Amino acid sequence: MEEIITRFPPSPTGHLHVGGARTALFNWLYARHMNGRFVLRIEDTDTRRSTQASVDAIFDALQWLNIDWDEGPYFQTQRFDIYKEYLNKLIDSDHAYYCTCSPDQIDVMRQQAMASGQKPRYDGSCREKGLKKTDDAVIRFKSPLTGTTVVEDLIKGNIVFQNDELDDFVICRSDGTPTYNFVVVVDDITMNINTIIRGDDHVMNTPKQLLLYRALQAPLPTFGHVPMVLGSDRSRLSKRHGAMSVTEYRDQGFLPDALVNYLVRLGWSHGDQEFFTRDELIRVFDLKNIGRSAGVFDPDKLLALNAEHIRATAPENLVAPLAPFLKDCGIEIQEDDYICNVIETLAPRSKTLEEMARAALFFYLDDIIYEEKAARKFLKAAALSPLKLLSEKLGALTTYNQENLEDVFKDVMDQTGLKLGKIAQPVRVALTGKTASPGIFEIIAILGPERVIPRLEKAIQYIEGLEG
């Protein structure tokens, strides 16, 4: 079988968003699944709207998503010689012609067409004139005047377009810049792209592109137009539906694999399975299970999936993605047993890495700041004797584990006649500054004697200070 070659051709006019990222993913996954190739092309011919900052942002987002490319990035602005060659081919084979109609003349044609109930269109005035290139001439493609053009779409089935509705569209402007439909086709032909999966906002371009393939006698690629991603009110997805750019998800503590998982499921399914690792997606992704109905973006579902991916990731693999969030709080971490233990404890209760970093703070602070309410409620005279006893007994233990910590607490309960809760809460406030944390034995075991004893002593002094 022929090698599958797919592509992602973003226009660098802004950040990479959910819809674009999903298109990239479908093409990337299919190429990986088929052991094919994935090409990256930057469609930067609209020089007024394209920016280097957008190019950089797109690379940044793709790299974070771990979407790698085998070829490119190609930049359309560096390929004008190729486009020129193909324009000449179309002129020479009588599939295109120069047109010198002025904008005013074209306006009149359009109005006349509309007045007679037709779509605004160019009337073909210059089609048979055999005009030569002049400064004000555009190049138009000779569209067939009758018949139909059928797009055999992998997702939507056959889509039939009446040729008399496709006028002789411009493929090169008078300033010499080729137009979008033309350059896309030349690129896809010269890059040997044979599978094109893209948003269905491009469906209307496809018949024009198909005619260009035929005129250039190039084999047709397989087309699949994916329904757009919608917001909860079923209008086109935007910020107000809670959708962000790809890198904003990174900055808010999402894992790339979680976003990948979520985006792929927005329009593709594999039975009713929701959770996929990246390797699993590569193994099972195919085009026939891309759905015909639009996916509705659900930020809560994405968040839940992120939590699931956090839980499913080995702690050592979360150290690097977590590090920037702790760094923002002034804490530098490196991969060691301590952080891995912290992550293991926090993973089941963190929906994002940002949340995890906030919860991890007390493990790293030298000086615990007590939340006012927590201190008022629990760090008071009644806690003094259990805290002192615990400090003494825990100080005598060299290794902390669930079993011997339970014994120590039992001892203290016996000696003070207090229930576990009455002891655990002051200890929790002493160790974390807060009233909520992972299990008390769990955090004592992770913190270890070198952090636990000074924190207990500080709480004891704090209470004694109150009394004095």
Exactly one of 133, 239, 377, 410 is catalytic; which is it? 239
Q: Considering only residues 29-48, where is the footprint of ligand GLU by CB under 6 A?
A: 43
DSSP state of 125: T
Q: Considering only residues 336-365, where is the footprint of ligand GLU by CB under 6 A?
A: none
Which CB, 9 or 227, lies closer to ligand GLU? 9
Cβ neighbours of residue 366 under 8 Å, at least 6 residues apart?
none
Nearest to 33 by CA among 244, 254, 275, 290: 290
Q: Which residue of 9, 19, 321, 386 would you call a contact of ligand GLU, by CB under 6 A?
A: 9
Site string for ligand GLU, 195-234 (x = CB under 6 A): ---x---x--------------------------------
By CB under 6 A, which span of 7-15, 212-220, 266-274, 423-431 interacts with ligand GLU?
7-15
Mode of pairing for the β-strands spanning 170-172 and 138-141: antiparallel
By CB under 6 A, which span of 6-14, 46-54, 131-139, 412-420 interacts with ligand GLU?
6-14
Token pair in block for residue 12: 């660098």
Nearest to 427 by CA among 468, 381, 460: 460
| Strand-pair partners of 222 | 195
The count of chain residues that interact with ligand GLU, using the rule CB under 6 A, is 7
By CB under 6 A, which span of 8-16, 85-93, 385-393, 417-425 interacts with ligand GLU?
8-16
- Cα separation, 444 vs 290, whole angstroms: 49
Which CB, 110 or 202, lies closer to ligand GLU? 202
Count of CB atoms situated within 10 Å of the CB of 125:
14
- Can residue 51 be called a binding residue for ligand GLU (CB under 6 A)? no
Residue 239 appears among annotated catalytic residues:
yes
**Minimum CB–partner distance for residue 83 and ligand GLU (Å):** 15
**Minimum CB–partner distance for residue 341 and ligand GLU (Å):** 45
By CB under 6 A, which span of 9-17, 32-40, 245-253, 307-315 interacts with ligand GLU?
9-17
Which CB, 133 or 173, lies closer to ligand GLU? 173
| Strand-pair partners of 6 | 38
By CB under 6 A, which span of 5-13, 150-158, 166-174, 297-305 interacts with ligand GLU?
5-13
**Burial of 73: CB neighbours in 10 Å, binned 0-12, 13-18, 19+:** middle
Amino acid identity at 217: Q
- Can residue 184 be called a binding residue for ligand GLU (CB under 6 A)? yes
Count of CB atoms situated within 10 Å of the CB of 250:
20
Long-range contacts: 70-74, Cβ < 8 Å, 24+? 70/31, 70/37, 70/38, 70/39, 71/37, 71/38, 71/39, 71/40, 71/191, 72/39, 72/40, 72/41, 72/42, 73/40, 73/41, 73/42, 74/39, 74/40, 74/41, 74/42, 74/187, 74/191
- Can residue 11 be called a binding residue for ligand GLU (CB under 6 A)? yes
- Cα separation, 306 vs 407, whole angstroms: 37
Site string for ligand GLU, 97-136 (x = CB under 6 A): ----------------------------------------
Which CB, 43 or 355, lies closer to ligand GLU? 43
Nearest to 151 by CA among 208, 87, 102, 112: 208
Which CB, 201 or 280, lies closer to ligand GLU? 201
By the criterion CB under 6 A, which residues form the site for ligand GLU? 9-11, 43, 184, 198, 202
Name the residues annotated as catalytic. 239
